[in-house]
Amino acid sequence: MNCNVATVWMHDYLDGELPQQDVRELKAHLLECPSCRTKFEQLDRTESLLSSAMHARGSIEPEQSERLNERIMAALPKRRRQSPWISWVRNHPAATVAALFLFVMLSSFLSMWHQGGELIVRGQDLQSVVIQGDKVIVPAGTKVHGDLTIENGIAEVQGDVDGNLTVIDGSLQLASTAHIAGSSRTIDRALDWFWYKVTETVSDIAK
């Protein structure tokens, strides 16, 4: 257990508001942590002093009582209340892990977006593909079997693509002789690219 969390739980314990399960965890931590144990003993003595002072308040002059309260309150460490979102995180660990996973994936993908600019061509059959600078050409009269993916370049299709054609951060030019058996799409926005990567990752895992 973190010592900061233990300090918050000490206050709740002394106020009688700490759940029984957390009480056991706090006691286990106090047995292992001399620093927190010392802090707890100081808090316990302060609470006892405050309680005694409140019981004896009737016999103390108003000014003396006020000064005593000020000294006691000054000796107390500031109490930290758990914010609602921390309580929600503690009560929904699975949802928290899933949200963090998606956040890390999104941050990773977005940080990779627009890095480099190097031409990348992927596909099962690239023998008929012609590359000229940043242009990827499927010549007329030729057929590319399977899916074809082109990143950071221009796709010029004159022949056949027997699968899906995906162009990422580039452009697509189709000749009148072009034929694409599957779907064709261009991805030029970070969010579209993110979902494309997620779908691709899930598909790879499924295989």
- Whether 150 has a pLDDT exceeding 90, the answer reads yes
List the beta strands (DSSP E) in the chain: 120-123, 130-132, 135-138, 143-145, 148-151, 154-157, 160-162, 165-168, 171-174, 179-180, 184-187
How much of the chain exceeds pLDDT 70, in percent?
Answer: 61
Tokens of 45: 């003595």
**Would you say the pTM of this structure is higher than 0.75?**
no
What is the per-residue pLDDT across 171-182, written as a single tens digit (0 to 9) for each?
Answer: 999 999 999 999
What is the per-residue pLDDT across 110-129, written as a single tens digit (0 to 9) for each?
Answer: 555 555 578 999 999 999 89
